[in-house]
Amino acid sequence: MAGSIIAPVLNPMVAELGVPASATRMIITTHGIVIAILSPFVGIIIDKIGIRKPFIIGLVIYAFAGGSGFFISDFWLLIGSRILFGVGVALIFTSITVVILNLYKDQMRNRVMGWRGSCNSIGGIVYPLLGGFLGTFTWHLPFTIYLVALPLAVLAYLTLPGIAVRQENIQISNSETSSVFRLFRTTPALYFAYTMIFLGNLLLYAMVVFLPELLNKIASVDTFFIGLCFSASALFTAATAFSYDRIRSLLSYKRIFIISLSFWIVGFATLSQATSLWIAILAICLYGIGQGMVIPSVAVWAGELVPMSFRGRITSYLATFGYVGQFLSPIVFNPVASSLNVHSVYWVVAIICAIFLLLLVLFLKK
């Protein structure tokens, strides 16, 4: 929801705020750098006091900071609200991952993490459509959708169990002689998990930020159609993630990543050459399939690699690397779009994915 709600109204925002398109793009990525900075501290808090309080507080901040965009018409005030919004997302993101890792095991953990990715993507279907529809009235209106976090905060308060994570963590910590730094030295696979989440989010926001412009170059489309395209990608992500436990039972993590990267290469290479809306939609759907495999894989893999007492911190770094990828995406690809064209952005993305696939194959052999 964080960026997909307002992505369809980027073009109207450019016109009314009176800033360049490159500056407007930062409105949907600024919260990412805040999440990247704060997430490790959130992980420490979760390892110390548990999940319930950070999750509920995060939902409340998310609602008010996100919804404030309805009243704001100044660019810098809007950026300020997105910074506070990032605080809420940082609290929510890691809490969700840790509660699933701690409540479930083995195949059921894979299944529930897949459901989490699927539900996330179903939101990615609904919210761009709703944001695009509301954006036909005014670009301010989609910001009100963030207020849905308030009833969710009440629901979390009433239903989320007070999992005794802290007590379990203390027992494990007393028996463990390793530290977070030692975990990184002895578990090199963590670096690859973080690399994949960074790449996945870099590509995600290459879609969110530049796709509206590309679609407008192919044919004149309104905000609702742009939202529909984002929803098509999310639909394929949701369907793939929903079946993640069956995918995982057949494939290792490394092979899942190889297949995901292959879908990304084909999808983005096709998008870079798209001359019709139908070809663009097909490419978007191929990207969604790869995303549906990567999202649950990195979360479960990172959680399984470490003891429970470190899960808050280790999974919080997923948010750090992921949202750094989101924040850097327009910075990395804006020069390509400016000096060449928006189609070239996706050609460069396909090349990046091909390089990562080559490195992964070499890593497999090693």
User: How does pLDDT run across 257-294, given as a tens digit for each residue?
Assistant: 999 999 999 999 998 888 888 888 888 899 989 988 98
User: How does pLDDT run across 352-363, given as a tens digit for each residue?
Assistant: 999 989 988 887
Average pLDDT over residues 109-128: 83
More confident residue, 67 or 33: 67
Give whichever of 15-24, 60-69, 89-98, 246-255 has the largest mean pLDDT.
Answer: 60-69
List the domain boundaries for the chain: 7-365
Asked if the model's pLDDT at residue 114 lies above 60, the reply is yes
Average pLDDT over residues 159-186: 58
Torsion of CA 331, 336, 339, 342, to 10 degrees: -110
pLDDT confidence band for 365 (50 / 70 / 90): low
User: How does pLDDT run across 134-146, given as a tens digit for each residue?
Assistant: 888 888 899 999 9
Residue 364, pLDDT score: 63
Asked if the model's pLDDT at residue 168 lies above 50, the reply is no
Report CA 193 to chain centroid distance, whole Å: 14
User: How does pLDDT run across 292-310, given as a tens digit for each residue?
Assistant: 898 888 888 888 887 777 7
Asked if the model's pLDDT at residue 166 lies above 60, the reply is no
CATH, range 7-365: 1.20.1250.20
Contacts of residue 64, defined as CB under 8 A and 6 or more positions apart, other chains included, come to none
Distance (Å, rounded) from C-alpha 231 to C-alpha 129? 7
Q: What share of the chain in percent tops pLDDT 90?
A: 19
Residue with tokens 């110390």: 48
Residue 304, pLDDT score: 81
Encode burial over 147-175: b for 16+ CB neighbours within 10 A, e otherwise.
ebbeebbeebeeeeeeeebeeebeeeeee
Distance (Å, rounded) from C-alpha 104 to C-alpha 151? 26
Residue 366, pLDDT score: 59
Q: What is the mean pLDDT of the chain?
A: 83
Q: What share of the chain in percent tops pLDDT 70?
A: 94
User: How does pLDDT run across 192-227, given as a tens digit for each residue?
Assistant: 888 888 998 888 888 878 888 888 788 777 777 777
